[in-house]
Amino acid sequence: MAKKDTYLALLRRGVDEVTAQTLADAGLTIGKLKEITQEQLIGNYGLKKTIADSVIEVIKSGPSGKGSEKFLSKVLSTPKKLDRIDKQRLRRQQKDYLAEIIEQKERIREAKVEAFRSKKLVMIRLGKSIELICKLENTLDEEGKSEMRSKINDQLETRGLEAARDHELLNLTGTPQDIADFRRKIVPVLCLYACPECGEEIDPVGGNVNQDIPDSWSFICWDCETEFDAQMVDRVESFLSNGKRISIDPKKAPRLPIAVRPKVKATSS
C-alpha cells in the first residue's frame, strides 16, 4: 500500500493527521501496524504513549463509522477562512503569476513581431533580386556580343542563387524563375498601360501621354519610342463607334422558364 493510501486509511480510522502522516512517511502499512507493538511505536517512531495506545486500538478494532464520518466531514466541509497573513501571501502569489503570464505574452508578441520583420526583410530582398533578374534577362535578350552575354550569365547565376536562398527561407511554392517569368512575360500583358513592343510599364501620370493628340489616350514609350493606345480605350471606342451597346428590351421574355404557381382549390363550406 502506498504512502497516500496508508495516510487515507489511517484518517478513515480516526487517527489524527500528524500521526497518520508520520506513520505513512515511515513506510508503514496497515498490515505492518497490526503486527507492531506499543514499545516499537514509542521507541522507533517517537509517538507518545497515549497516541501509540490509541493507534494500536484503532488498528485492531478496524475502520469505524465515527472515523469515516470524521474523515468525510473534513473532506466535504467548506474550507477554513484565511487569516490576514495567508490572504496577503495568496495575493502576492496571484500577482507573481499574473506578472509572469504578462511577461510570457510579451515575449511571444515580440517573437512574432521579430519573425514577421525578418520575413518582411527577406521578402523585400527577394523582390529586389527578382527585379534585377528581369532586367538582366531583358538585357541578355538584346545583347549581341558574346563577352557581354557571358558576364550577364554570371550575374544571372549569382542573383539566381540569392533569390533561391530567400525563396527557400520564405517556404514559397515553385521557383524564383517562375516569378521572374511571370514578371517579364505575363505582367506586361495584364497591365493596362504597357508598351506592346518592349513590355515596359508606363505610368499615365508620369507625362507619357502623347501631347499631339490630347483628346485620346495615346502614349509614347520612353524606351523604344513607340506610340500606342490603351487596349481598353480601343475596345470602348470600337463599341461606341459600332453601336454595340447593351440594350434591354422590356417586352422580351426571360430566357429561363418561370414555374407557374399552382391554383388554390376552393374549399366547400
CATH code assigned at 214: 2.30.30
Please identify, among 174, 190, 206, the residue that sits at the C-terminal boundary of a domain.
Answer: 190
Q: Is the pTM of this model over 0.75?
A: no
Torsion of CA 84, 90, 91, 95, to 10 degrees: 160
User: 204 and 133 in one domain?
Assistant: no
Best CA proximity match to 184, nearest among 125, 135, 219: 135
User: 236 and 211 in one domain?
Assistant: yes
pLDDT above 70 (res 267): no
Residue 90 located in a structural domain? no
pLDDT tens digits, one per residue of 90-124: 888 888 888 889 999 999 988 888 888 888 888 89
Residue 114 located in a structural domain? yes
Beta bridge pairs of residue 85: none
pLDDT above 60 (res 19): yes
C-alpha cell at position 262 = 399552382
Please identify, among 190, 205, 220, the residue that sits at the C-terminal boundary of a domain.
Answer: 190
Domain of residue 60: give its range.
Answer: 3-76
- The answer to whether 66 touches 14, Cβ cutoff 8 Å, is yes
Residue 252 located in a structural domain? no
Residue 215 located in a structural domain? yes
Residue 25 located in a structural domain? yes
User: 230 and 150 in one domain?
Assistant: no
For the chain, what is the domain count? 3
Residue 182, burial from CB neighbour count under 10 angstroms (0-12, 13-18, 19+): middle
User: 173 and 107 in one domain?
Assistant: yes
Residue 60 located in a structural domain? yes
Per-residue pLDDT band for 210 (boundaries 50, 70, 90) equals low
pLDDT tens digits, one per residue of 27-82: 777 777 777 777 777 777 777 777 777 777 777 766 655 555 555 555 555 566 76
User: 112 and 67 in one domain?
Assistant: no
User: 238 and 216 in one domain?
Assistant: yes
User: 208 and 181 in one domain?
Assistant: no
Mean pLDDT of 219-231: 72
- The answer to whether 154 touches 140, Cβ cutoff 8 Å, is no
